Structure 1
C-alpha cells in the first residue's frame, strides 16, 4: 500500500517524469535486460558456490561421477620395510610381470596417486598394506610359491598393529590387502588345502582384492573383497591391431596350455576337473580347433589370429587367458562353472564373451558354429570397445577407467556400508 504522506519522486520533481517519458525505448529495454541477467547470474553464482561448499560432504553414493583419477575414496599405502615388498621385486624381475603381479601394480599405482595428491595418513579413508606374497620363485618349476605367504602377512599385520594407530580402532576393517593368486584369501594354490587352512584370522575383517571369485558362498571368499582381473602387461594390446571384424583370423578356436591325457596327476587331484583333458580328447584332431600342449612364447600371436579363445578352468576358475583374449580381440569362451568375473558394472561379460558349462564341452563346436553364423560381428564390436579393454589393464601411473581405477570405484562403494556398520568414522 502506498504511503500517501510521502509523494513519489516523480511527483516531487516533474522534470524526472518528463525525462523518463522521453528516454529512448532501446535504453529502457537495455535496462530491463541488465536487471534480468543480473538476477540470473546471481542465482548461477549461488548454485556454483553451494556445489563447491556442500557436495564434498555428501556420501559417495549421492555424488555424481568422479573426475579423472579422483574416485572419492582416499587410500594411504603404508611404507612397510622392503622385506615385505620391494626386496622381492628387486630380487626377481618376474615379480612385477607374472599373472599374479596385480599386488605390485596396484601398490605402485596407489603410491604415485598418493604422492601427486599429497595425501597424509590421517586423511585416509582406507589403508593399503603392501605385502608381495606371490614373488617367491623358489619352486623347482619356477612358479611362484605361497609357502611363506601366511608368515609374511602375519608379520605385516603385527607391525601395523604395533606401530600404526589405525588398525586397532577398526580391527583392520578399513585395511586393504591383495590376494592375487588361485584361491585368494586362503593363500594356498590347492582348493581343498586352501579351504582346510581357511582365511587367516587377522584378515577376516579386512578387505581383500583377489582374482578368485565364484557365485555363491565359498570359504575362501567369505570376507569383504573385490574381484580384480589377473595381471597382463599393458603392452599385450598392440595399437596397430585392426578391429576383430576386419582382421584376418585363420584359427577358428584356440587353446595352448596344460592338458593331461591322464587327468589324475601325482598329487591325486583332477586338474581342471578333467575339462581340459576332455577338450583334447574331443577336439584334438578337429582341424577347426588349434589345441597345443607345449609352451610357446609367441602364443599371443596365435590368439590374435583366432576367432574364439578357450578359457577353461585350471586349478582355480580364473585364467589370464580371459584378459589376453579380450585385449587381442579374440572372443573368450569361458568354461568354468559359477565363475564370478571382475567389474561387471563396466564389463558386460555376456556381451563380450561366451560361457559354456563344464558338462557341455561335448557340444562346444555346435555352440561356436552357431555364434559364427549369427552374432559374431556384434560380439567382436562389443569386445573392441576401448573402455572395456582398458578396464582390464593395470597402468602405472593409473589412468582413468583402468583396472586400478575400477578397484578404487568399487572400494568407494564400500565406504558407506563401513560407516553404517560403525567400523570407523569416515571423514569426508
Structure 2
C-alpha cells in the first residue's frame, strides 16, 4: 500500500515518484509544451535533501532533460549536473511578513570570535569538526549545542553577529542554511562540503566573500583562517554586505533579490543548453 499511497509515518518516497511520473505523463499528453523539447525548457524546484534524486527516477525525460533547481547541489551523486541544473540557496525565514528583519551584525573591529558553529551531528563532516575543535580553543566556538549558561547572554544569532567567520559544514547533504544565515549576519561563510556547487555561481564570485575549506583540512581549520590577512578579511566581509541583497526574500520581489537570482540561474541554464545544441 505505501508504495502507491501516502501512509503517515512511512519513509518511502515511491508514492512521490509515481505521482511525478503520472503528472508529467498527463501534462505531456494534454499540452504541447513539454513535447517540444522533451522537458528541456521546463524546471522544477526541490529543497528537501532527498527529493531530487528519488522523485525523478521513474521518468527518463524528467530526470535527464528538465532543469532541476535543487538545494542538494552535489555533483558526486550523479543527479545534479553542473551547467544544466541550478543550485538553490537554503534559507530559513523567521517571519513571512518581515523576511528581512534582524539582519546585519557587529562591525569588523568588534567581532571578537574567530570562528563559530553550533548544530547537530549530521553527516560525516560535523563530527570531525567537533572532534578537533569542540570546546578546545577559545577562538574557535564550536558546539553541538551552545551551553545554557552561554545562551543566557549570547544566543545563536548573536554568536554569528559577533564572529569573523561562520563555519558552514555539510550535514547529511552538502547544503546548509548557515551559509545564507552567515551572509544575513555579515559573517564570512566558511564552507566545508566537497562536491558542492555553490548557489548563483553563474553570477557571483564566491571567492570574493567566502572561504572554501576541503573536508580533509578540518584539522587545520584555525591555521587556515589565521593565515588570511586582516586586509583580506575586511574585503571579504565588505563583499558579504554587498552580496547580501541577492539572498534576501521580500514579500514583493525586489530587483536582484533572491527571487530574481533564482530565475536568472534558471534562464542562464536554459541559454547554455540552447547554445550547446546550436554548436
TM-score by length of 1: 0.53
Q: Tell me the residue number matched to 1:279.
A: 129
Over the aligned positions, Cα root-mean-square deviation in angstroms equals 3.3
SS at match of 1:187: helix
Structure 2: runs of 5+ lacking an equivalent? 1-5
- C-alpha distance after superposition, 1:195-230 (max 9, x if no partner): xx9574241221211122245x64112483111211
1:12-411 matches, within 5 Å, as 146=13, 148-182=15-49, 185-187=52-54, 198=57, 200-203=59-62, 204-214=64-74, 218-222=77-81, 224-233=84-93, 235=98, 237-238=100-101, 241-242=104-105, 244-245=107-108, 248-259=110-121, 272-273=123-124, 275-285=125-135, 286-294=137-145, 299-371=156-228, 373-385=230-242, 388-411=243-266
* Structure 1 residues 374 and 220, CA gap change in structure 2 (3 angstroms): same
Report deviation, 1:174.
Answer: 1.8
Counterparts in 2 of 1:351 and 1:420: CA distance versus 1, 3 Å = closer
Conserved 8 A contact 1:186-1:200: no
**Paired residues, what number?**
260
Q: In structure 2, what is the Cα distance between the partners aligned to 1:187 and 1:395? A: 31
Give the aligned partner of residue 90 of structure 1.
none
Q: 1:325 to 1:237 in 2, by over 3 A?
A: farther
Q: 1:343 to 1:240 in 2, by over 3 A?
A: closer
Contact 1:167/1:175, CA 8 A, preserved across alignment = yes
Does the CA-based 8 Å contact 1:213-1:340 persist in structure 2?
yes
Deviations 1:288-327 (A, max 9, x none): 2222223899522321222211111111111111111011
Task: State the Cα distance separating 1:333 from its structure 2 match.
Answer: 0.8
Contact 1:184 1:221 in 2 (8 A): no
Distance 1:366 1:174, change over 3 A: same
Structure number, greater radius of gyration: 1
**Partner Cα separation in structure 1 for residue 91 and residue 32 of structure 2:** 32
Q: Which moved more, 1:348-357 or 1:158-167?
A: 158-167
Deviation of 1:366 (Å)? 1.2
Answer whether contact 2:165 2:190 (CA < 8 A) is retained: yes
- How many angstroms does 1:250 deviate by? 3.4
Could you say which residue in structure 2 is the equivalent of 1:426?
none
Gaps of 5+ in 1: 1-135, 189-196, 260-270, 423-428
CA gap of 1:251–1:238, structure 2 versus 1, over 3 A, is: farther
Give the Cα separation in 1 of the matches to 2:138 and 2:174: 27
Cα pair 1:244 1:381 within 8 Å, conserved: no
**Aligned-partner Cα distance in 2 for 1:312–1:325:** 12
- Secondary structure of the structure 2 residue equivalent to 1:272: coil
Moved more, 388-397 or 308-317: 388-397
2:199 match: secondary structure: coil
CA shift in 2, pair 1:415/1:382, >3 Å: closer
The TM-score, its normalising length taken from structure 2, stands at 0.79
Q: CA deviation at 1:237?
A: 4.7
